[in-house]
Amino acid sequence: MDNLIEIKNVSFSFDAEGEKRDIIKNLNLNIERSSFTVILGHNGSGKSTLAKLMNGLYKPTNADGSVLVDGIDTKDETSEIEIRRKVGMVFQNPDNQLVASIVEDDVAFGPENLGLTPEKSRERVDEALKAVGMYEFRKSTPHHLSGGQKQRIAIAGIIAMRPECLILDEPTAMLDPKGRAEVMSIITRFNRENGMTIVLITHFMEEAELADRVVLLSDGEIISDGTPKEIFSDIKTLKSTGLDVPQTTELLYQLKKNGIDIDTDAISVKETAARISAALHLEES
């Protein structure tokens, strides 16, 4: 297995009002190159902290814990720039990542800080803006754009740096359904077509359905790890963490609970309809 990120026995804690607060507890996790992994968990479960550990913004607070990015230990301060090149991060609020008054200047900020020539930087900016469907807005003011458009600009700014991995910390939390769909379309395309490693922190179940793998986090520990179907079919574990269950999964669960012999591993509406049809011995129209 070709792992891009390896998290080994990592703990992270800080002092809050004189008391030590453990956020991540002896956690082990590998992120395979070119994979699409979703991290699920309730508020306070440690999702955002884990994301920041993955790209070196946070360091393990235990001596024997380590995070390796393509073999590089994030505790190595001399390698911070190289780690940022390999792992880019997009946050929940795009306004926190917009640094310039013109879209193309904002996207150029990252490549320029990597020391690229103006010509190479220009090439990357144009390529990134076209990739997220925002090239026509390159001369616009970011703060006049919609939330979804701003988030696409934030993603373009990271993409222009050509990272191997893109970590997104609840990037659609502040967006309307249209904005969420736009951002998710870009994320999945980068993964499927370009082989970019994606780590998505989210609490939207419909977004988690698109991943190859879902890791369920609770109180700083991994309590479940598998495919979306495996995770969502475990209704009791999901509910025990305070997470919503996909409506399709809940429907199948309730039907089975009420005596209908039905498979409960479907996620999409189409799959769910097929399961119900088969259980009731109806022919699909």
Q: What is the pLDDT of residue 181?
A: 87
CATH 3.40.1160.10, domain 35-61+77-227, yes or no = no
**Residue 114 in contact with residue 85, Cβ under 8 Å?**
yes
- Give me the count of residues in the chain: 285
267 token code pair: 């996620």
Tokens 């990592």 found at: 10
How many C-beta atoms lie closer than 10 Å to residue 255's C-beta?
18
How much of the chain, in percent, has pLDDT values that exceed 70?
A: 98
Q: Does the structure show a pLDDT above 70 at 116? A: yes
**Residue 220 in contact with residue 22, Cβ under 8 Å?**
yes
Mean pLDDT of 62-74: 95
Query: In terms of C-beta distances under 8 Å and separation of at least 24 residues, what long-range contacts does 64-67 make, across chains too?
Result: 64/9, 65/8, 65/9, 65/10, 65/11, 65/26, 66/6, 66/7, 66/8, 66/9, 66/10, 67/5, 67/6, 67/7, 67/8, 67/10
**CA distance readout (Å), 161 to 113, 151, 189, 204:** 9, 16, 17, 28
Q: Does the structure show a pLDDT above 70 at 283? A: no
Q: What is the pLDDT of residue 93?
A: 86
Q: Does the structure show a pLDDT above 70 at 282? A: no
Pick 86 or 270 by higher pLDDT: 86
- Model confidence pLDDT, tens digit, residues 30-56: 999 999 999 998 888 999 999 999 999
Q: Name the pTM for this structure.
A: 0.87
Q: Does the structure show a pLDDT above 80 at 18? A: no
- Model confidence pLDDT, tens digit, residues 169-222: 988 888 888 888 888 998 999 899 989 999 999 888 888 888 999 999 999 999
**In the chain, what is the straight-line distance between the N-terminal and C-terminal CA atoms, in Å?**
43
**Residue 30 in contact with residue 17, Cβ under 8 Å?**
no
Q: Which of 53, 36, 145, 143 is nearest to 98 (CA)?
A: 143
Mean of the per-residue pLDDT values of the chain: 88
Q: Which of 196, 224, 229 is nearest to 212 (CA)?
A: 229
